[in-house]
Structure formats: structure tokens, C-alpha cells
């Protein structure tokens, strides 16, 4: 089954054409890494797949539908450059809030387990604003994985993590059915290069 199907995708910002006639198929159960130079469009592509940016042209189908559909978006987890956490909340409060947003209250329990695996104490009453960038990145990943998404779109998920943290994150991502990662680092699975707005095998 195809988890992501992209046909003739174009995305412009004003007169700048970032993605051009891009084609991509990602099958359920597949882990794909997208690499490329800074400014090549990796983040733009992930944001289009997540439904956070509209394509200028072309067709994008995710998990059998449109990522603009709220029911589809609930099945997608997005890890971005910004941790997307509420700074005044604790790590556990953030996870409970997002679990409620996704309509998956039991996710808070799983989120606490993931926090522990990532070396974050779920009982810590400090707001995440007091955490280091690496610690906030760990909380953000727990927030994304807690609702058990079918597809994770991760933009540099290892940024700000030490080797130990990066190893735990890689292990947790293996349990996600389908993953697309944009990174300069080494990862498992199929590897594609984004160059001149198009994807090619690495």
C-alpha cells in the first residue's frame, strides 16, 4: 500500500521555484531519508506532505487522502526544527495537551514511557522553557510519537542531541510504520537526494 504519493509537485515562493515536477512514492512500512544541500527544499517538501503548505501545482496524497483533511492529519506526526511545545507547560502537560488535540487521551501514558526512554523525567515540574535545546527536542519527539502516528515526517530529528539521545531516537523511530526524514546525517532505509527541485536515488 502506498503511504505517500506525489505527482508533478511544484512549490513556489514568489518567483522562486523550490520544488519542480517532483515525483515520490513511499510505501507503508518504508523508512525514507531525504538529503540535499541547505536550501534545496527538504523542509518545504515535508511541510507540503504534512499539509502545512499548499502545493503551487501537482497532486499529493497521504495515507490514502489529503493531508488537509483533519482525519488524515491526526494520523501524521510532524517533527520540525522548532519543538512546537508550550514553553510554560511541563513536559507531561505538553504531551497531555497534544494527546487531547489528537483525540487520543491514552497517548499521555505512552508519552510518559517515551519520555523515560529519552531520559526525561515525566514528573519534572519545571516548564520546558527551562530545558536545553536537546531536552526540548526529546520532549517534542515524545509528543509526536505518543498518539502512535502511522506516518512520521521528521525534519532533522537528531539536531541538538548527543550520540546517546540520537541512538534512542533512531530506535523509537524504527517502531513507526512509515517514516520520512530530512537530514544530512546517516540513517537506515532508502535514501533520496533533493536537487534542483527533484528527487533522485542517492
Would residue 124 count as lying in a domain?
A: no
In a domain, 84, yes or no: no
* Residue 129 DSSP class: G
| 8 Å CB contact between 102 and 74 | yes
Which CATH number do you get for residue 37?
3.40.50.300
The answer as to whether 194 is a domain residue is yes
Structural Rg of the chain based on CA atoms: 17
pLDDT digit string, tens, across residues 159-202: 777 888 888 888 899 999 999 999 887 777 899 999 999 999 87
**Looking at the domain assignment, is residue 8 inside a domain?**
yes
User: What domain range is 9 assigned to?
Assistant: 1-75+154-159+178-202
Q: Which of 106-110, 122-126, 182-186 has the highest mean pLDDT?
A: 122-126
Let me know if residue 173 belongs to a domain.
no
Closest to 151 (Cα-Cα) out of 31, 22, 7, 52: 31
pLDDT digits (tens, 9 = 90+) for 74-83: 899 999 877 7
Confidence at residue 68, expressed as pLDDT on a 0 to 100 scale: 85
Q: Report which of residues 56 and 186 the model is more confident about.
A: 56
Report the domain count for the chain. 1
Amino acid at each position: 500500500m502506498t503511504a505517500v504519493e506525489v505527482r508533478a509537485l511544484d512549490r513556489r515562493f514568489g518567483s522562486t521555484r523550490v520544488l519542480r515536477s517532483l515525483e515520490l512514492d513511499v510505501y507503508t512500512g518504508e523508512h525514507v531519508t531525504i538529503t540535499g544541500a541547505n536550501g534545496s527544499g527538504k523542509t518545504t517538501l515535508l511541510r507540503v506532505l504534512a499539509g502545512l503548505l499548499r502545493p503551487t501545482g501537482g497532486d499529493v496524497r497521504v495515507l490514502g487522502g489529503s493531508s488537509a483533511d483533519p482525519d488524515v492529519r491526526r494520523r501524521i506526526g510532524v517533527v520540525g526544527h522548532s519543538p512546537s511545545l508550550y514553553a510554560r507547560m511541563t513536559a507531561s502537560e505538553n504531551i497531555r495537551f497534544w494527546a487531547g488535540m489528537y483525540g487520543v487521551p491514552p497517548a499521555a501514558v505512552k508519552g510518559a514511557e517515551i519520555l523515560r526512554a529519552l531520559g526525561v523525567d515525566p514528573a519534572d515540574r519545571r516548564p520546558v522553557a527551562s530545558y536545553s535545546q536537546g531536552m526540548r527536542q526529546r520532549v517534542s519527539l515524545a509528543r509526536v510519537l505518543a498518539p502512535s502516528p502511522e506516518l512520521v515526517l521528521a525534519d532533522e530529528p537528531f539536531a541538538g542531541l548527543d550520540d546517546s539521545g540520537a541512538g534512542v531516537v533512531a530506535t523509537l523511530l524504527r517502531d513507526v510504520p512509515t517514516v520520512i526524514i530530512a537530514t544530512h546525517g546517516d540513517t537506515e532505509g532508502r535514501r533520496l537526494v533533493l536537487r534542483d527541485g527533484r528527487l533522485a536515488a542517492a
